[in-house]
Amino acid sequence: MSELQDLLVLEHVTKVFESREGRNVVAVNDVSLSIRKGELITLLGPSGCGKTTTLRLIAGFELPTRGRILLEGQDIAYLPPNKREMGMVFQSYALFPHLSVFENIAYGLRLRRLSKEEIEQRVRTFMALVNLTGLEQRKPAALSGGQQQRVALARAMAIRPRVLLFDEPLSNLDAKLRVALRAEIRQIQQRLGITSVYVTHDQSEAMALSDRIVVMNEGRVEQVGTPEEVYHRPATLFVADFVGRANFLPVEVLQLENTHAIVQFAGKRLCTPAHPDVRPNKPAVLMVRPEAIRLTSHALESNDALDGVVRNVAFLGHYVEYELTWDQHVLSVEDESLPGRLFRQGERVRWYFDPERAFVLPKR
């Protein structure tokens, strides 16, 4: 990607807050990011990781302690939020409760002194886009949560922002609506090609929506990558653990071969994909996702399989979740749900995985 396509750039941005007791808390620590024109990038991380602060720095609600924020090459770190041309969608919708739906959406347009006809036309367009036509004169209090968030989305988009910011917009909605609305957001965002920064702590939401994901922890960026990269090729143990579930197994790295490493695991040699930082004889772990593990009956002999005991079973319909004990470890396994095949608690089983579906990470 060329430099020109980086619409929004954060350079070594740090934000220090002073806590009530007078101690300094580093909320955002030396974050550098480039956001490309037209993409939807998600800031993902546990609460308190600095993702919302980063978003608010971009929006201009907070000032960076250090670092620069460039929008189309221009430093906007000290530009007031109302001069930034960024639309924002809030977790709490933040609709103006005393204004009708129409007036909410028209608010930013009136500030821009658009003509009456243009406002009318643009509000109608965006209301149609979010499927709200007919609700123009309602007050926000008379709308459902999902409708309210659609209004907020229309309002933020109506000003044709240079960047659209989302601050956990779906977390106040119930699960089904969340899934429906996130698909809708993705669709509209792609159709209009609006550059978007999206904050969430929900990894499936991040996966479903994003062109790229920025995983953050304790104010730092852990990894920037496509959902697939983040999931299968995590840059750190934290990412591996936070995005999806993972079993971490003890290995010894013997040798490197291009993108792979030869490792010693449970007395066997495996060739698995490896993190570039993995070095022979340096501590490392083997990450195996629960769905990569397969179970077989203990009765079947196999050289590749290992012994385990079922500690807990949860039948979830589309798959079965097991907890296995193996050599002082507890493993999570997601096994296929097949009629007639269900291992019982306390039952001895055999388990194995395809080394290509595992990943070796350096241990810090």
Partner 1 sequence: MDASLGPSPLSRARFLRSFTHSLRLLLRDSSLLIAFGVAVAFVGIAVLYPLVATLSRAFSAEGAAVLANVLARPVFHRIILNTLALGLTVATAGTLVGFLFAWVQVRVAAPQWIKRFIHTAALVPVVSPPFAVAVAAIVLFGRNGLLTYQLFGLRTDIYGLPGLTLVMTLSFFTVAYLTLRGLLYGLDPSLDEAAANLGAGRWHQFRTVTLPMLLPGIASAFLLLFVEAIADLGNPLVLGGNYTVLATRLYLAIIGEYDLTAGAVLSVLLLVPSLALYLLQWRLATSASVVSITGKPSGRGRLITDKRATIPLVGGALLIAALVFLIYGTILVGAFVVSLGVNNALTLRNFEFVLVGYGAKAIIDTTLLSLLATPVAALLGMVIAFLVVRGKFHARNALDFGTMLGIAVPGTIFGIGYLLAFNTPTEVLGITVLPKLTGGAAVFGGALAIVMVYIIRSTPAGLRSGVAALQQIDPSIEEAAVSLGGSRPTTFRRIVLPLIRPAFFSSLIYAFARSMTTVSAILFLTTPQTRIMTQQILNETDAGRFGNAFAYVVILIAIVLVAIGLLSIFVGTRTGAEREAA
Least separation in angstroms between residue 151's CB and partner 1 is: 11
Least separation in angstroms between residue 173's CB and partner 1 is: 16
Which residue in 360, 355, 315 sits closest to 333, CA to CA? 315
- Would you state the torsion angle of the CA atoms of residues 124, 127, 131, 132, taken in this order, to the nearest 10 degrees? -100
User: Which residues, numbered 131-150, are part of the site for partner 1 (CB under 8 A)?
Assistant: 139-142
40 phi/psi in degrees, rounded to 5: -110, 115
Residue 63 or 183: the one with the smaller Cβ distance to partner 1 is 63
Least separation in angstroms between residue 111's CB and partner 1 is: 4
Least separation in angstroms between residue 156's CB and partner 1 is: 8
Least separation in angstroms between residue 13's CB and partner 1 is: 14
Maximum Cα interatomic distance, the chain, rounded to a whole number of Å? 78
Least separation in angstroms between residue 117's CB and partner 1 is: 20
SS3 350: strand
Exactly one of 71, 88, 130, 170 binds partner 1 (CB under 8 A); that residue is 88
**C-beta separation of 167 from 199 below 8 A:** yes
User: Which residues, numbered 157-196, are part of the site for partner 1 (CB under 8 A)?
Assistant: 159, 165, 167
Exactly one of 129, 130, 152, 237 binds partner 1 (CB under 8 A); that residue is 152
From 41-49, 92-100, 208-216, 294-302, give the range in contact with partner 1 by CB under 8 A.
92-100
Exactly one of 3, 47, 74, 80 binds partner 1 (CB under 8 A); that residue is 80
Burial of 24 (0-12, 13-18, 19+ CB in 10 A): exposed
Residue 163 or 333: the one with the smaller Cβ distance to partner 1 is 163
330 phi/psi in degrees, rounded to 5: -115, 125
How many CA atoms lie less than 13 Å away from 302 in the CB half-sphere? 16
C-alpha 140/C-alpha 85 separation (Å) is 24
Question: Residues touching partner 1: how many (CB under 8 A)?
Answer: 40
Q: Is 299 in the site for partner 1 (CB under 8 A)?
A: no
Residue 283: count of CB within 10 angstroms of its CB: 13
User: Which residues, numbered 14-43, are part of the site for partner 1 (CB under 8 A)?
Assistant: 18, 24
C-alpha 6/C-alpha 3 separation (Å) is 6
Q: Is 13 in the site for partner 1 (CB under 8 A)?
A: no
Least separation in angstroms between residue 154's CB and partner 1 is: 12
C-alpha 285/C-alpha 359 separation (Å) is 8
C-alpha 219/C-alpha 155 separation (Å) is 30
Least separation in angstroms between residue 63's CB and partner 1 is: 6
**Measured between alpha carbons, how far apart are the two ends of the chain, in Å?**
32
Exactly one of 11, 85, 136, 229 binds partner 1 (CB under 8 A); that residue is 85
Residue 9 or 153: the one with the smaller Cβ distance to partner 1 is 153
Residue 164 or 320: the one with the smaller Cβ distance to partner 1 is 164
User: Which residues, numbered 99-118, are part of the site for partner 1 (CB under 8 A)?
Assistant: 99, 107-108, 111-112
298 phi/psi in degrees, rounded to 5: -65, -25
Least separation in angstroms between residue 329's CB and partner 1 is: 45
Least separation in angstroms between residue 54's CB and partner 1 is: 15
Q: Is 96 in the site for partner 1 (CB under 8 A)?
A: yes
- State the helix-helix crossing angle for 145-158 and 175-192, rounded to 10 degrees: 20
Residue 67 or 362: the one with the smaller Cβ distance to partner 1 is 67
Q: Is 50 in the site for partner 1 (CB under 8 A)?
A: no
**C-beta separation of 165 from 115 below 8 A:** no
- List all residues 6 or more positions away from 30 whose beta carbon is below 8 Å from its beta carbon: 12, 13, 14, 67, 220
Residue 98 or 268: the one with the smaller Cβ distance to partner 1 is 98
**Site residues (vs partner 1, CB under 8 A):** 18, 24, 59-61, 63, 65, 78, 80-88, 90-92, 94-99, 107-108, 111-112, 139-142, 152, 155-156, 159, 165, 167
